[in-house]
A and B are shown apart, each in its own frame.
Chain A
Amino acid sequence: MQSDIQISFPNRQANIEVLTDLAGRVREHCIWMTHRSNASHIGTSLSMVEILVTLYGRILRYDSARPDWEDRDRVIVSKGHGAAAVYAILAECGFFPKEKLETFCLNGGGLSGHVTRDCAAGVEISTGSLGHGLPIGCGMALAGKRSAQDYRTYVILSDGELDEGSNWESILFAPHHQLNKLTVIVDYNRIQSFGSVSEVLELEPLADKFRAFGWEPREVDGHDFEALDQALSLDSENGRPIAVIARTVKGRGVDFMEHELQWHYRSVKENQLDSALSQVRKPNQQAGGSH
């Protein structure tokens, strides 16, 4: 069934139905993209779909026809392994044709398996090695602050990524320089490469850690559009940078993937495709492009 919702993003008035519809299409793209290329990381893509949809659907200031517009809000997806979801939301929001998604991770294709600036309009910074995005985000936010520009900088981190010490250099730096237009979003799905975050390297109490470093932490359900909207759109107090700790589910939306470590690596096989797609393809939803 073809969606009859015609709306261009970003749109502050986009309602839950519109955002849910967009999230379904992004998930459908992710499943197709990783299935077709036998690529990994579907679980991490699915866990951050609502984060991306809330940002690109409602929150961000951007113009997909002018990706280098000087006053745009900046987004760095530091967890570059979530590339499928990033490319999918960018295509859905008009940065490049959805047909390009079909070439993801294929020989001679147009989209790399980790987020790469050179292949996709709308990508600010290439990522893939963890712990790089936040320092760069600090630089962007500092440039904006010292030149009195009012754009915001959003950096999406994975939870396992917070093991990298470079992040903590930035977490010290940002409050010292009162980077109040910098927002970190932690996609806190609590599974990293070898097991749960608790097993590998415990992050808790994460909100307390950010608070102690001088940030304003906001803990939310990372799949709740309204909660994310509120956490991402309210200014902070006393010039603090904001840390949105988004509690998410790895593999969200497909029952056999949810909370499962193996879906950090596996891709959907032919015999699982119908089930996966039908779960994310709610009524009135269908991904654009020709899969």
Chain B
Amino acid sequence: MRTAFISELITQAEKNPNIWLLTADLGFSALEPFAKKFPDRYVNVGVAEQNMVGIAAGLAHSGKQVFTYSIGNFSTMRCLEQIRNDVCYHRMNVKIVAVGAGFAYGPQGYTHHVIEDLAVMRTLPGMTTLTPADPLETHWITQQAVTDNGPCYLRLGKAGEKNLREPADFHPPQKLGDPICLKSGQDAQLFGTGSLLKNALDAASLLEKSGISLGIWSVPCLNPLNEEQILRFTNNQSVVFTLEEHNNQAGLGGRFAELYSSVSGGPRVCRIGVENAPPDVYGDQDHLRRWAGLDSEALSQRIIKELKTS
């Protein structure tokens, strides 16, 4: 996803001379192509995220569109008030880019686990919240961020994720905020974000063996969210599943719970995410996903259990 983002940003920057990229000294062996091509529109500000966001706001005040880049917690929480006051409350054209969503940088330890960011960022006023699931969605979502003139939060994984479908099978939705169907299914619907959707697709294959047909949707944009469409797709369901590599409070699952709380007779929301932090195990992304019950086997069992009780 990281590679797809940079490659798309370069494509966009060739057409748009106002696009700038700031980094807080992270992105080694990823950002260099942009820096070489557009040296006047690239700044490594040093390890200084608060300054980076302020500088971005000052540049945006001068008509630039500025992407700030760092690992998830550093580009969001370390400088949260700058994002709130200087970017969101001023409606600045600044795009906060976070890499390492969820446990992508798992072995680095919990300072690098990005599992509270969505809850924080999506509540900031006017913050378009973008959560692509694979490189194909990342290309499209980066284009959407460039088209937008206000604050955006762009939550990316790392380098090397596989596409969840063939390029020919990727059809961008009509509107930002529409969910994208990855697999249709009749028995239950699961809405997820990020590269973790790969595990959902694998879980769906396991569920087929138990005779359960699970529909899977990617939500590449959490805010704005096409509520009307989601309500329509989940009409008459008794339970709806959400899946995120994020704590299970106030992120995607929380957003869906808010949605159904405003309608009568809506389904129960089964929020699948990280239930405990910090982890008491050490290891890579797959290891930590297993610890959190987010591997395909655990997901399929969880869904079977929830469907029985619904």
- Which positions in A face B, CB cutoff 8 Å? 117, 124-126, 128-129, 131-132, 134-144, 146-147, 165-166, 169-170, 172-173, 177
**Docked-complex contact B46 and A172, CB < 8 angstroms:** yes
A147 (CB) vs chain B CBs: closest residue: B62
A137 (CB) vs chain B CBs: closest residue: B58
Interface residues of B in 24-53 (CB under 8 A from A): 40-41, 43, 45-46, 48, 50-53
For the residues of A in contact with B, the DSSP-based class is helix
B55 contact set on A, CB distance < 8 A: 135-136, 138-139, 142, 173
**Docked-complex contact A139 and B90, CB < 8 angstroms:** no
B82 contact set on A, CB distance < 8 A: 132, 135, 166
- Select which of A117, A140, A166 is within 8 A of B58 by beta carbon: A140
**Docked-complex contact B46 and A136, CB < 8 angstroms:** no
B89 contact set on A, CB distance < 8 A: 126
CA–CA, A131 to B86, complex, Å? 11
**Docked-complex contact A138 and B50, CB < 8 angstroms:** no
Chain A nearest CB, measured from B42 CB (Å):
11
> Could you pull out 13 A-B pairs where Cβ atoms are within 8 angstroms?
A117-B90, A126-B85, A128-B85, A129-B81, A135-B50, A135-B82, A136-B57, A138-B55, A139-B62, A141-B58, A143-B64, A173-B48, A177-B43
Residue from B57, B58, B62, B81 with most neighbouring chain A CB atoms (10 Å): B58
Contact with A along B108-119 (1 / 0, CB 8 A): 000000000000
**Docked-complex contact B61 and A138, CB < 8 angstroms:** no
A131 (CB) vs chain B CBs: closest residue: B50
- Select which of A124, A146, A147, A166 is within 8 A of B50 by beta carbon: A166
Answer yes or no: B56 CB below 8 A from chain A CBs. Answer: yes
Closest 3 CB pairs of A and B: A139-B58, A135-B54, A143-B62
**Docked-complex contact A138 and B62, CB < 8 angstroms:** no
Answer yes or no: B59 CB below 8 A from chain A CBs. Answer: yes
CA–CA, A11 to B85, complex, Å? 34
- Select which of B43, B48, B61, B81 is within 8 A of A136 by beta carbon: B61
A124 contact set on B, CB distance < 8 A: 61
- Select which of B41, B46, B58 is within 8 A of A135 by beta carbon: B58
CA–CA, A281 to B45, complex, Å? 47
- Which positions in B face A, CB cutoff 8 Å? 40-41, 43, 45-46, 48, 50-64, 81-82, 85-86, 89-90
Q: Check A169/B50 contact, CB under 8 A, given A136-B57, A142-B55, A143-B64.
A: yes
Contacts A136-B58, A166-B50, A169-B45 given; 14 further ones with Cβ under 8 A?
A126-B90, A129-B81, A129-B85, A135-B55, A136-B55, A138-B51, A139-B56, A139-B57, A140-B62, A143-B62, A146-B40, A147-B62, A170-B51, A173-B48
A132 contact set on B, CB distance < 8 A: 54, 81-82, 85-86
B64 contact set on A, CB distance < 8 A: 143
Chain B nearest CB, measured from A133 CB (Å):
8
Chain B nearest CB, measured from A160 CB (Å):
17
A129 contact set on B, CB distance < 8 A: 81, 85
A143 contact set on B, CB distance < 8 A: 58-59, 61-64
A124 (CB) vs chain B CBs: closest residue: B61
Chain B nearest CB, measured from A72 CB (Å):
11
B66 (CB) vs chain A CBs: closest residue: A139
CA–CA, A165 to B48, complex, Å? 10
B51 contact set on A, CB distance < 8 A: 135, 138, 166, 169-170, 173
B48 contact set on A, CB distance < 8 A: 169, 172-173
- Select which of B41, B46, B59 is within 8 A of A139 by beta carbon: B59
Chain A nearest CB, measured from B84 CB (Å):
9
**Docked-complex contact A169 and B46, CB < 8 angstroms:** yes
Chain A nearest CB, measured from B11 CB (Å):
22
CA–CA, A165 to B85, complex, Å? 17
CA–CA, A169 to B85, complex, Å? 18
B81 (CB) vs chain A CBs: closest residue: A129
CA–CA, A170 to B82, complex, Å? 14
A166 contact set on B, CB distance < 8 A: 50-51, 54, 82
B94 (CB) vs chain A CBs: closest residue: A139
